[in-house]
């Protein structure tokens, strides 16, 4: 835990001092604002909960984009800069390195996500929405981002090129999301199986509607756990290469 | 301290190092010499547990590199050829982080930090961000992070690479100052640096050890090879400075097995550079004195070992 805490603090310091984190944060918040303006508010009059639902729909997608972009700052950048040597020659386990860097990035990404809270606040000012709906939506957005980021950690462990890590993560996420439309074209049991893999469509929709379901929590938790475990195993296997 | 037993490392079908077999005692300073691609970095990466051997066994401080890498990492400080630095961190902050990463408490780091900053010559730049430092200072920070936790084994891969002459002298002094506190493994393709800093040298060529021992021992090994192979070049290069005429000095240096490489005279002093399979200094001194000449300088040149290095690095195995 001590090593993880140490890495989290260092990584967070890195995010706050280097411009790359701010650039990504700016892009994500700009996207949030534009999409909110274009789709959630729109031209037609809508009930507040519907506006909030649409905001979360696009907000979830933006958080996924954030997860993909932040994946470059996970392990690939460390390897590209050669600073991984400092970590791998220190008495710190590969799992601690993966979790430490992942948690720091997740914390920063969650802060960026929470910066969009002013948008639901605007809805609250002009209409009536429940705090529970807002909380469920943000829990969902952070979980969606955390899952994308965990997949990014796995992709990032496979290459030392940060750009390639982003492309790989994006490809994995798009592929999983495409499973949903694909599932509509096949018969059971493949329909359920493929549909189950879509991060946003299958597992984020309940959060978007203000519903926190255990099955979705288990799904996101499972993907995060196995992705980080796989990333750790990839790092451990480097010694054999 | 270190035992390397028949270690090989293959990348695909190509051997980066093969059949490495040596031991290193505690407190020794060992120089790994070899041309680029000779296997120095691979050897140091194996010793720092960054990679595992394809075959063979490495034990450091009684721990097996394959079974207990975590224990070995507690014992080592490592400076790779490119220092592993976070550019946005300040020097002192980075060293605190490096110390805590090596299991030091905050108190221990706070106590140790001034000493390390002083020793590495970083006191003046301790509050600067690393990205603003010159290459020489970055290299110093690299060494400082490697020694902050007082490791038993210090591994330095090409520590003088890219430094200017002044920085090289400063770095040499810094490394010399660390002898006695750590077992030091140092790699370089610049022979004079290793020769000046280390107790023992280990020469690598195409992933294999071609020579191992002190400077004297390496020269003897090469002499033995030169004797065995008459076509081989001799290994001892000596410079001689004598007050006397050029002809008289040439006559005095007419010794069996001695080759005069260069002979020039200026203002009554003759300078010569000679080569021989065996150390010729004793014979030269005797002959010069017998010839009633004044011997001003008689010394092996730094390129004696360089000669050995080039031959051992370049000759057919």
Domain ranges of chain B: 2-213, 231-314
Could you name the CATH architecture of B231-314?
A: 2-Layer Sandwich (3.30)
Positive or negative, the CA dihedral A55, A61, A64, A65 is negative
Contact indicator for B35, B187 with CB cutoff of 8 Å: no
- Domain extent at residue A144: 2-240
The answer to whether the Cβ–Cβ distance between A82 and B82 falls below 8 Å is yes
Intervals of chain B under pLDDT 50: 234, 316-317
Chain B positions in Cβ-Cβ contact with residue A91 (cut-off 8 Å): 70-71, 73-74, 102-103
pLDDT, position B308: 64
Nearest to A82 among B49, B80, B101 (CB): B80
Is the pLDDT reported for residue A241 higher than 80? Answer: no
State whether ipTM is beyond 0.90: no
The answer to whether the Cβ–Cβ distance between A85 and B80 falls below 8 Å is yes
Mean pLDDT computed over every residue of chain A: 90
Give the residue from B75, B84, B128, B158 with the most A CB atoms within 10 Å of its CB, the best one to mutate. Answer: B84
CA distance B119 to B140: 10
Minimum CA–CA partner of A77 in chain B = B86
CA distance A104 to A16: 11
Using the 8-state DSSP alphabet, how is residue A41 labeled? I
Per residue in A112-156, pLDDT (tens digit) is 999 999 999 988 888 888 899 999 999 999 999 999 999 999 999
The answer to whether the Cβ–Cβ distance between B84 and A84 falls below 8 Å is yes
Is the pLDDT reported for residue A188 higher than 70? Answer: yes
Q: Where residue A1 falls among pLDDT bands split at 50, 70, 90?
A: confident
Among candidates B27, B3, B29, which has minimal Cα distance to B194?
Answer: B29
The whole-angstrom distance between B89's CA and the closest CA on chain A is 8
Cα R_g (chain B), whole angstroms: 23
| A32, A34, A35, A38 alpha-carbon torsion, rounded to 10° | 160
Residues 6+ apart with CB under 8 A from B291: B244, B248, B251, B252
pLDDT, position A72: 81
Q: What's the N-to-C CA distance of chain B in angstroms?
A: 29
Chain B residues bordering chain A (beta-carbon distance below 8 Å): 11, 48-52, 69-71, 73-74, 76, 78, 80, 82, 84-86, 88-89, 97-98, 100-103, 145
Neighbour tally for A166: CB within 10 Å: 21
The whole-angstrom distance between A43's CA and the closest CA on chain B is 46
pLDDT, position B316: 45
Per residue in B218-236, pLDDT (tens digit) is 777 766 665 665 555 546 7
Please report, rounded to a whole number, the percentage of residues in chain A having pLDDT higher than 90. Answer: 60
Chain A residues bordering chain B (beta-carbon distance below 8 Å): 3, 6, 10, 13-14, 17-18, 81-93, 238-241
H/E segment holding residue A215:
helix A214-237
Give the residue from A7, A79, A91, A237 with the most B CB atoms within 10 Å of its CB, the best one to mutate. Answer: A91
* Number of domains into which chain A is organized: 1
The answer to whether the Cβ–Cβ distance between B101 and A93 falls below 8 Å is no
Chain A positions in Cβ-Cβ contact with residue B90 (cut-off 8 Å): none
Nearest to A86 among B69, B71, B145 (CB): B145
Q: What's the N-to-C CA distance of chain A in angstroms?
A: 28
**Residue in this structure with the two tokens 């070049």, named with its chain if needed:** B233
Minimum CA–CA partner of B85 in chain A = A83
Per residue in A28-66, pLDDT (tens digit) is 999 999 988 888 777 677 788 888 998 999 999 999 999
The answer to whether the Cβ–Cβ distance between B101 and A18 falls below 8 Å is no
pLDDT, position B83: 92
pLDDT, position B296: 92
CATH superfamily for B2-213 is P-loop containing nucleotide triphosphate hydrolases (3.40.50.300)
The whole-angstrom distance between A234's CA and the closest CA on chain B is 13
pLDDT, position A91: 92
The whole-angstrom distance between A77's CA and the closest CA on chain B is 11
The answer to whether the Cβ–Cβ distance between B70 and A10 falls below 8 Å is no
């Amino acid at each position: 835990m001590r090593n993880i805490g140490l890495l989290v603090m260092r990584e967070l310091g890195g995010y706050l001092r280097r411009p790359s984190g701010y650039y990504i944060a700016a892009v994500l918040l700009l996207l949030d604002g534009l999409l909110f303006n274009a789709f959630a508010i729109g031209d037609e009059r809508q009930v507040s909960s519907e506006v909030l639902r649409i905001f979360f729909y696009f907000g979830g997608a933006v958080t996924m984009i954030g997860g993909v972009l932040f994946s470059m700052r996970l392990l690939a950048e460390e390897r590209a800069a050669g600073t991984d040597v400092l970590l791998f020659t220190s008495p710190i386990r590969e799992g601690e390195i993966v979790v430490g860097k992942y948690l720091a990035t997740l914390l920063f990404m969650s802060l960026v996500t929470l910066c969009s809270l002013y948008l639901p606040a605007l809805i609250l000012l002009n209409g009536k929405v429940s705090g529970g709906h807002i909380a469920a939506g943000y829990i969902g957005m952070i979980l969606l981002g955390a899952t994308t980021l965990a997949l990014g950690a796995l992709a990032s462990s496979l290459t030392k090129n940060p750009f390639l890590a982003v492309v790989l993560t994006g490809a994995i996420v798009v592929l999983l999301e495409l499973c949903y439309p694909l599932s509509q074209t096949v018969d059971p049991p493949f329909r359920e199986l493929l549909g189950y893999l879509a991060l946003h469509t299958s597992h984020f929709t309940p959060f978007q509607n203000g519903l926190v379901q255990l099955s979705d929590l288990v799904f996101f938790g499972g993907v995060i756990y196995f992705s980080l475990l796989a990333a750790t195993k990839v790092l451990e296997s480097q010694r054999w290469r | 301290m270190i035992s390397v037993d028949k270690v090989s490392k293959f990348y695909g079908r190509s051997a980066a190092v093969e059949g490495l077999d040596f031991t290193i005692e505690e407190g020794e300073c060992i120089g790994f010499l070899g041309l680029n691609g000779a296997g120095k970095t691979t050897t140091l990466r194996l010793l720092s547990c960054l990679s595992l051997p394809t075959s063979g066994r490495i034990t450091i401080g009684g721990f097996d590199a394959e079974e207990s890498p975590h224990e070995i990492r507690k014992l080592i400080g490592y400076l790779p050829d490119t220092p592993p630095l976070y550019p946005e961190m300040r020097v002192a902050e980075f060293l605190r982080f490096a110390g805590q990463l090596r299991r030091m408490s905050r108190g221990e780091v706070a106590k140790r930090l001034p000493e390390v900053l002083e020793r590495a010559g970083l006191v003046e730049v301790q509050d600067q961000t690393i990205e603003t430092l010159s290459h020489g200072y970055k290299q110093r920070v690299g060494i400082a992070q490697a020694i902050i936790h007082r490791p038993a084994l210090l591994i330095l891969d090409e520590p003088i690479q890219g430094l200017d002459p002044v920085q090289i002298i400063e770095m040499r002094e810094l490394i010399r100052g660390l002898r006695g506190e750590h077992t030091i493994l140092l790699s370089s393709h610049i022979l004079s640096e290793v020769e000046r800093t280390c107790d023992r040298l280990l020469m690598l060529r195409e992933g294999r050890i071609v020579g191992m021992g002190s400077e004297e021992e390496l020269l003897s090994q090469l002499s033995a090879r030169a004797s065995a192979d008459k076509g081989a070049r001799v290994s001892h290069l000596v410079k001689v400075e004598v007050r006397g005429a050029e002809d008289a000095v040439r006559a005095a240096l007419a010794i069996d097995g001695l080759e005069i490489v260069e002979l020039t005279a200026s203002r009554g002093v003759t300078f010569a550079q000679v080569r021989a399979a065996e150390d010729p200094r004793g014979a030269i001194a005797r002959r010069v004195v017998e010839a009633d000449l004044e011997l001003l300088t008689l010394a092996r040149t730094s390129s004696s070992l360089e000669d050995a290095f080039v031959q051992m690095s370049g000759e057919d195995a």
